[in-house]
Structure 1
Amino acid sequence: MKWTSALAIYFLFWSLSVFLVLPFGVRTTDEAGAARVPGQAESAPHEFRPGRIALRVTVVATVLFLLFQLNYIYGWITPQIIDRLIPAE
């Protein structure tokens, strides 16, 4: 696999991981015990820390990409295995 393809696939894993990581560890203003700003949504996070979220996303994306890369190299899950598990109609 070319390094440009690997980079593109890593970017896809990273952007998917954003949606996996974003809901975890979020506390609303009511849960934090602070007063809400007028017009603020009830579900809005009390503190938004983009650096911490980016670090978590990078860790999750790297682990997923490494699993993908190892599967690409060693062929643990192949299209033939998937065809056996889910037969075509």
Structure 2
Amino acid sequence: MRWTSLVAIYFLFVVASAFIMLPFGVKTDEEVGNELVPGQARSAPHRFRLGRHLLRAAVLAAVLTALYDLNYIYGWITPDDLDLYRRIVG
């Protein structure tokens, strides 16, 4: 696999990881004990640390990319393994 393909796959995993991890580790103002500002949504996070969130997403994406590349090299899971229709029908 080319290194450019690996970088592209890594960034796809970064974006997916960032969206998947959004609800984890977030506390609202009610949970912290602060009063809500008029017009503020109850679900708004008390403090959102974008840098920490992106760092966690980057680390998770590195692990997922490594697993993806190892699967590409060693062929642990092939497309035939994912063809559930063929297993059920025939």
Normalized against structure 2, the TM-score is what? 0.90
Please tell me the residue identity of whatever aligns with 1:43: S
Deviations 1:2-45 (A, max 9, x none): 11111111111111101221110000000000111111100000
Secondary structure in structure 1 of the residue aligned to 2:15: helix
| 1:81 and 2:81 matched | yes
Question: Deviating runs (4+, > 2 A) in structure 1?
Answer: none
Q: In structure 2, how many angstroms separate the alpha carbons of the residues matched to 1:20 and 1:53?
A: 11
**Which residue number in structure 2 is paired with residue 58 of structure 1?**
58
Secondary structure of the 1:80 match is coil
Q: 1:45-73, CA deviations, whole angstroms, 9 ceiling, x for partnerless residues?
A: 00010111011111111111111011011
* TM-score (norm: length of structure 1): 0.91
Distance 1:30 1:81 in 2: 47
* CA RMSD after TM alignment: 1.2
Following TM superposition, by how much is the alpha carbon of 1:87 offset from its aligned partner in structure 2, in angstroms?
2.0
Within a 5 Å distance, the mapping from 1:18-33 to structure 2 comes to 18-33=18-33
**Can you give the 5+ residue segments of structure 2 that lack an aligned partner in the other structure?**
none
1:47 is matched with which residue? 47
5+ unaligned residues in a row in structure 1: which ranges?
A: none
| Identity fraction in percent | 59
